[in-house]
Amino acid sequence: MNSTPAAPKRHKGGWLYLQVLVAIAIGVALGHFYPAFAVTLKPLGDLFVKLVKLVIPPVIFLTIVTGIAGMGSLGTLGKVALKAFAYFFVVSTLALVVGMLAANLLHPGAGMNIDPHTLNAGSIKDYAAKAHDVSIQGFFTSLVPDSLAGAFVEGNILQVLLVSILFGVGFSIAGERARPALAFFEALTQVVFRVVDILMRLAPLGALGAMAFTIGKFGVGAVVNLAGLVASFYFTSAVFVLVVLGAIAALNGFSILKLIMFIKSEILLVIGTSSSESALPSLMEKLEEAGCARPVVGLVVPIGYSFNLGGTNIYMSLAALFIAQATNTHLTLGDQLLLLGVAMLSSKGAAGVTGAGFITLAATLSVVPTVPIAGMALILGVDRFMSECRALANVIGNAVATVVVARWQGALDRDRFRDALNGMPRLPSTTPEGATTTWTEAEPAERASA
């Protein structure tokens, strides 16, 4: 008797995508026509982002611990980390260069002729104060939490990463003796991701509240005076994603446009909330379902959220040169290269700092006094609009990085990944009662030959 194969199950993100899209449209309409009421909806967006941040530490911890334990070899961990950091360094540098080239070609600040002494430096004093805490020394000091629970209480991603890696290595060394505890963690991972699924049902409300507040508070007119900068930033980010990341994707055998469509729910969530963190848990879950091995997803995505910030790097170089152009501050090629080098270091020093984009820019300008730091007051009003684009480019960049590193490591199920990008995602393969299978060094050859 012939049986018809069951149709592949569609990912639940398709319905979420539509809901978030409608919510964003409603938020824009409320912000434009009823601004006073729209501003009062801000708690909806804030509460949703806080709820998501609540589950980020356990998601990272459990994914990394079970992932490292499933590698079977600490050498494999080192290989994945080395490949990820090499990728991050190259792509982050490219992002800074792209931002610098765009500023020199588009000249978004030219003709504004602003005297920096007339600017309200007081409006950025809080950011400037935080920028003093951003340094390479401070970065390494902040890696270690005051206590084991401290990393989870403060929600510092880098500290959670450190604790997670240490526990994962400990499980790997302990071997069979740690199997009961590891089985518990694997089961707990499924529980946490189910909590993530529940929270994602609230995403439309969060997106509606955040978008309504943004439009109601600042208005579309807030962009008009600085339209050149905002348009230049969005255009440059689009070029970076489609050309630079698109070329990287093509060299690794997949389409950047198909990947963007695959994570469209997460992209809309980022647009609605202006926060890349709101999409972190669901992005990790979706990439794993698409065939990227859990250990790679567990390492690359969280580390990338601190070290692979392409959108933030474009913003830093473009905004710094915009301020110089707007205040008629002449910068030689040497000055611009110095600015680029400082930005490369300060972007790592600000990893894990809330509002890292604006704060890192302040830290960079405080080290390179040629560009007046008071000029940041020029872009403070539209930073909210640019933060959406920063977060968007960062999320797409980390999705590309995860797939690329998984492919380099031979930890990408190519059949599953191809089906996912073609809109036919399969259910993830599982072991007893929902525990996702782990990947070991023995599997890559089989995956690569798929």
> CA dist 137 to 134, 341, 345, 362, 377, Å?
8, 17, 11, 17, 28
pLDDT at 347: 66
pLDDT at 242: 95
Residues 6+ apart with CB under 8 A from 314: 95, 96, 98, 99, 102, 233, 236, 237, 240, 390, 393
pLDDT in tens, 423-442: 776 655 443 333 344 444 43
Q: Does a structural domain hold residue 126?
A: yes
pLDDT at 429: 47
Q: Does a structural domain hold residue 99?
A: yes
pLDDT at 142: 66
pLDDT band at 224 (very low <50, low <70, confident <90, very high): low
Q: Does a structural domain hold residue 253?
A: yes
Contact call for residues 371 and 252 (beta carbons, < 8 A):
no
Q: Does a structural domain hold residue 1?
A: no
The range of the structural domain enclosing residue 147 comes to: 13-428
Q: What is the CATH number of the domain that holds 45?
A: 1.10.3860.10
Q: Does a structural domain hold residue 434?
A: no
Tokens of residue 431, six digits: 């072991």
Long-range contacts of 79-85 (CB under 8 A, 24+ apart): 79/409, 80/295, 80/296, 80/299, 80/300, 80/405, 80/409, 80/411, 81/299, 81/303, 83/405, 83/408, 83/409, 84/299, 84/300, 84/303, 84/304, 84/401, 84/405, 85/303, 85/307
Maximum alpha-carbon separation in the chain = 84
pLDDT in tens, 22-37: 888 898 889 888 889 9
- Assign 3-class secondary structure to 2-56: CCCCCCCCCCCHHHHHHHHHHHHHHHHHHHHHCHHHHHCCHHHHHHHHHHHHHHH
Of the candidates 339, 347, 334, 337, the one whose C-alpha atom is nearest the C-alpha of residue 368 is 339
Q: Does a structural domain hold residue 51?
A: yes
pLDDT in tens, 357-409: 666 777 677 666 777 777 777 776 667 778 888 889 999 999 999 999 999 99
pLDDT in tens, 398-417: 999 999 999 999 889 999 99
Matching residue, tokens 């499933």: 70
pLDDT in tens, 46-96: 888 788 878 878 888 888 888 777 766 677 778 888 899 899 999 999 999
Q: Does a structural domain hold residue 3?
A: no
pLDDT at 348: 61
pLDDT in tens, 306-336: 788 888 889 888 888 888 888 888 888 888 8
The number of domains in the chain is 1
Q: Does a structural domain hold residue 445?
A: no
Tokens of residue 236, six digits: 């440059």
